[in-house]
Amino acid sequence: MWKLLHKLKDAVIYDADREFYAKVFPDSVAPRDLLRLRKMDHADLPRVLTIENENYEFPWSEGIFKDCFRAINYTNWVCEAPDDSIVGYCIISVMAGEAHIMNISVSPRFQRQGAGRKMLEHLIEYARSRAEKIFLEVRPSNPGAIDLYRKTGFREIGVRKNYYPAKQGREDAIMFELDLVPRL
């Protein structure tokens, strides 16, 4: 049922010009602009879990993702390519004027092509009307993500010691913050 509703929504919001120019003039449209985000549903879990397992030594379990569906303050999305294949996913929690990016993950085959940035920008815009600040944690061993967060305006605000599981025990997390309300 959800798939049908998503397809219907996509048909209504479909950008025929962009799709046409992408086919006729392939270099005229960035691949990132052809990606689209939609709410994640339970049928997406097999592909989401595959991406999760491809990217992490200590991946989230299916149960954790199901908990994200049940939590009223969590919103989950998948990022799709024009052929409807899922290339990534993202999860955000919003509560009490604060947003927290819980997870952004891109299939290894689609990394460094703009999907991560597209999802991050989507989460920022989603949170903008719901929160004053947005937070996230990242492994120091993930320089690509750190660079993306800094380029997007996030600033480092601290370190959570021994936050992530790692092969050699635990790894710290760098904490980042982005103000969503313009300062006067």
pLDDT of the residue at 184? 61
The residue-averaged pLDDT of 9-25 equals 49
Q: Which residues of 97-123 are buried (b: 16+ CB within 10 A; e: fewer)?
A: ebbbbbbbbbbeebeebbbbbbbbebb
Q: Is the full-model pTM beyond 0.85?
A: no
**What's the CA gap between 128 and 132, in Å, rounded?**
7
For 18-61, the pLDDT digits (tens) are 455 445 555 555 666 789 999 999 999 999 999 999 999 999 99
pLDDT of the residue at 66? 97
Band (pLDDT 50/70/90 cuts) for residue 181 is confident
The residue-averaged pLDDT of 85-98 equals 96
pLDDT of the residue at 13? 47
For 109-167, the pLDDT digits (tens) are 999 999 999 999 999 999 999 999 999 999 999 999 999 999 999 999 999 999 999 98
Q: What residues act catalytically?
A: 137, 149
